[in-house]
Every structure is written in structure tokens, then in C-alpha cells.
């Protein structure tokens, strides 16, 4: 991929990721040029089944968009499955937009391809599009939007939905450690037409696989 001309790289990334990024509400009116540049900053991660993608109360400036697969939303003590996220859905807005703690723990139910945007990395893109940058800044300065995010999470946490025709109150096979949780153990960082890198939680390369 990195051996390809920049223009061709952008075309490939736009085709693979553009339609997902353009569905994010605060980017859907941004235009193709912005989405193309946004896609070039994104990273695709591959999570195996049962792997934690985001832990509640951690702080990260990342937005997670589900390209393929299904994710489970877990209760605060990790004992219940309270919701489901599917393809095209996204999470992590509290940290991405506001630099706040993550509001929920999300785990891969199936093998998942997760498209990740890092707010610190897209700042250079926003600088090239002042109108969009101003809209994002205004959104970040609107406390009502953050409050709405929190209310949505509270509603999810109160729910007792169905999962595969069984109550989502089954115990999750995770260990609760007070207010802290173990970091995610592994994921795969995908690069189109290249090797996928299998990483451990400390960032070291564990093995290499073809995607």
C-alpha cells in the first residue's frame, strides 16, 4: 500500500472507508474531499471474538466505527450484556470530541473490523477545512450535546434487551478489578495489501499474519 502513489492510496482508502466515515453525523455534510483526507488518517483494527475494544472510564481521543462484525455493550461491573452495536455504528464520542472518560465498555461479539479515528491526528485535516473545524469546535463547546451522550448511555445501561433469543443478563467471562480493568490483550492492525500486525497490549509485535 505504501509503495503506491499517494493519489492511488487515497482512492483505495476512500473506497474502503469513505462510506462509513460519511455516515458519522458531524461529517456527513463535509464533502468528498474532506472524507478522503479523513480516511487517510484512519487506522483499521481487527479484533477477535470476546476481545475488549474500549473500557469504561478510560480516556482516549479515538472514535470507533464498526466496519464489520457485532459488538456487545457491557454493564459497569462487566456482569451483563446490555446492548448491541452492529455494522456502521460507532462509539467513543465522549473521548473523541470532549476528551472525557469513555462512558461504556464495548466487547467484540464476533470477529470485528473497527475503523478508528484519532482526534489528535485529524487536527491537521480540520485545519485545511476551516468551516468544518469551526462546526466541530462549536459542537465541543455545546454542553447539551455531551449531556445527551450521557443520557443515551444511561438508557442503554438500564435496558435488558435480547441477544440470540436469550436475556442479555448472562455473565460475561471477564474479571472485574474494582474500578480498573485489564487492558485489551491483543488486536490486529490492518494495512490494505500488506501484512496485518498482531500486537500485544504493551505495543510489542507478537506475530505476523496475512490479512
Is residue 132 classed as helix, strand or coil in its secondary structure? helix
* Interatomic CA distance for residues 93 and 100, integer angstroms: 9
pLDDT in tens, the chain (211 residues): 545 556 655 566 777 788 888 888 889 888 889 998 998 899 999 999 999 999 999 999 999 999 999 999 999 889 899 999 999 999 999 999 999 999 999 999 999 999 999 999 999 999 999 999 999 999 999 999 999 989 988 888 876 544 444 433 333 333 333 333 333 444 444 443 333 333 333 444 333 333 3
pTM: 0.72
Contact 37, 74 (CB under 8 A): no
The per-residue pLDDT for range 151-200, each reduced to its tens digit, is 988 888 876 544 444 433 333 333 333 333 333 444 444 443 333 333 33
* Interatomic CA distance for residues 177 and 189, integer angstroms: 27
Write down the domain spans for the chain: 6-209
* Interatomic CA distance for residues 78 and 74, integer angstroms: 5
* Selection from 41, 11, 18, 35 nearest residue 124 by Cα: 41
* Selection from 145, 141, 154, 62 nearest residue 103 by Cα: 154
* Sheet (strand 52-54) strand order: 52-54, 105-108, 71-74, 81-85
Q: Quote the Cα angle for 207-78-155, to 5°.
A: 120
- Residue 18, pLDDT score: 84
Decide which of 1.10.10.10, 3.20.20.70, 3.10.450.50, 2.60.120.10 is the CATH code for 6-209. 2.60.120.10
Amino acid at each position: 500500500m505504501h509503495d503506491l502513489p499517494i493519489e492511488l492510496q487515497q482512492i483505495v482508502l476512500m473506497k474502503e472507508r469513505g462510506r462509513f466515515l460519511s455516515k458519522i453525523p458531524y461529517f456527513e455534510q463535509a464533502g468528498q474531499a474532506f472524507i478522503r483526507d479523513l480516511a487517510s488518517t484512519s487506522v483499521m483494527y481487527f479484533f477477535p471474538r470476546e476481545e475488549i475494544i474500549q473500557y469504561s472510564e478510560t480516556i482516549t481521543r479515538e472514535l470507533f466505527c464498526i466496519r464489520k462484525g457485532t459488538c456487545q455493550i457491557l454493564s459497569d461491573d462487566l456482569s451483563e450484556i446490555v446492548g448491541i452495536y452492529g455494522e456502521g455504528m460507532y462509539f467513543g464520542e465522549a473521548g473523541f470530541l470532549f476528551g472525557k472518560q469513555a462512558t461504556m465498555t464495548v466487547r467484540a461479539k464476533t470477529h470485528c473490523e473497527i475503523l478508528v479515528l484519532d482526534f489528535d491526528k485529524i487536527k491537521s485535516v480540520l485545519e485545511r477545512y476551516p468551516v468544518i473545524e469551526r462546526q466541530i469546535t462549536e459542537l465541543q463547546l455545546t454542553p447539551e450535546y455531551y449531556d445527551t451522550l450521557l443520557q443515551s448511555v444511561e438508557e442503554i445501561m438500564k435496558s435488558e434487551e435480547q441477544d440470540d433469543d436469550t436475556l442479555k443478563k448472562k455473565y460475561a467471562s471477564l474479571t472485574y478489578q474494582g474500578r480498573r480493568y485489564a487492558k485489551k490483550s491483543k488486536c490486529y492492525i490492518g494495512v490494505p495489501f500488506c501484512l496485518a500486525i498482531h500486537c500485544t497490549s504493551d505495543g510489542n509485535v507478537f506475530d505476523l499474519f496475512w490479512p
